[in-house]
Amino acid sequence: MSGLFRTILGITLFALAGCNGAAIDSPPPAEVGQAEVVQPIATEAARPAPTPTQVLTPPPPPEPIGPTTFLYDGQLTQGGWIRGQAPGGTVSATLGGQALVLNEEGYFFAAFDRDAGPSATLVARLQDGRTVESPMTVSPRKWNIERINLARPRGKASEAFMVRRRPELAQINAARKADAPSEGWRQDFIWPVKGRISGRFGNQRIYAGVPGSYHSGIDIATGRSGTPYVAPADGVVTLATKKPFSLEGYLLIIDHGNGLNSAFLHNSKIVVSEGDMVKQGQYIGNIGSTGSATGPHLHWGLKWRNSRLDPLLFTGPMN
């Protein structure tokens, strides 16, 4: 090989080595095990979008459920009664100033005393502050005078009698003030027993020529003692005497709820006990002549709070 050819070959090999090898100005390779440090890029933390303020609007009050005025029916007369429903939204109601008890649907019971005046007004106070009034006419009745051939004690009762009588009156008053959980007042009453009406409600008795108080109930005579009788409506027994009272004899009182109660006097036997719940038509006792009675009969008295009522206006004529 000539010298010129060797020189050219050497130059060529050097140039190729420069192209395939590391550049003269390249940095030295990193040492084994040494990691490359990467600088983090700063970013702004994400923030939730602001929530607009929500304004809560209270729901409108519910519409009152019920009629717009008083609805009622019954016997609008002295010794009579009414059942009805107060206007929707009623907070309180009265009849002639007496507060009425309303159930959840606004139904009520009210009555008129034997000596009630010629008019009365139902008044309701509503939730919105308004009042609703419903005036009514109470018809008068003509009372008969009944003469009884039985001497009435004259003058003031003896202290010996009152010692016995005071505890009896206390029991009667407590029994009639009881607020029993019964809705018998909503029922159509039935006759507890059928027989001859020997004494009518409201009539004034003349005891051997001496005027007495008016008759507070109705007397039913069957002609014999021991005749069974039944409850005229549902109720709870609030008094069932174990021994005869001085005037009433064996006395039974049943609370029909809402201030209405029945009293049965002169029993020969009582078959229910205080606290018993009785159903309309249930056998509850037997007619007798205990206490102050001239013969066997059932005295049935009805009372709403302090008002005495005519049982005949609850049952209708005896068939």
pLDDT tens digit sequence for 53-76 = 676 777 766 677 889 999 999 999
Give 163's DSSP letter. Answer: H
Query: DSSP of 210-273, one letter per residue?
Result: EEEEEP-SEEEE-SSTT-EEE-SS-EEEEEE-SS-BTTTBEEEEEEEETTEEEEEEEEEEE---
For 201, 205, 263, the CA distances from 225, given in Å and listed in that order, are 22, 24, 18
The answer to whether 164 and 158 have CB atoms below 8 angstroms apart is no
pLDDT per residue over 90-145, tens digit each?
999 999 999 999 999 999 999 999 999 999 999 999 999 999 999 999 999 999 88
CATH of segment(s) 71-137: 2.60.40
Is the torsion defined by CA of 308, 278, 189, 94 positive or negative? Answer: positive
Task: Indicate the domain borders of the chain.
Answer: 71-137, 145-315
Q: Cα–Cα distance between 219 and 257 in angstroms, integer? A: 23
Q: Give me the residue label for tokens 């040492």.
A: 31
Predicted confidence band at 16 (pLDDT cuts at 50, 70, 90)?
very low
For 65, 204, 256, the CA distances from 302, given in Å and listed in that order, are 32, 17, 10
First to last CA, the chain: 159
The answer to whether 159 and 137 have CB atoms below 8 angstroms apart is no
C-alpha torsion 300→254→290→288, nearest 10: 70
pTM (2 decimals)?
0.77
Spatial neighbors of 64 by CB under 8 A, at least 6 apart, are: 87, 88, 89, 126, 127
Can you name the CATH fold of 145-315? Glucose Permease (Domain IIA) (2.70.70)
Q: Specify which residues 236 forms β-bridges with.
A: 255, 277
Give the least confident one: 34-43, 127-136, 179-188, 266-275: 34-43
C-alpha torsion 167→173→179→183, nearest 10: 120
Q: Give me the residue label for tokens 């034997």.
A: 114
DSSP alpha helix (H) spans, the chain = 3-20, 159-177, 312-315
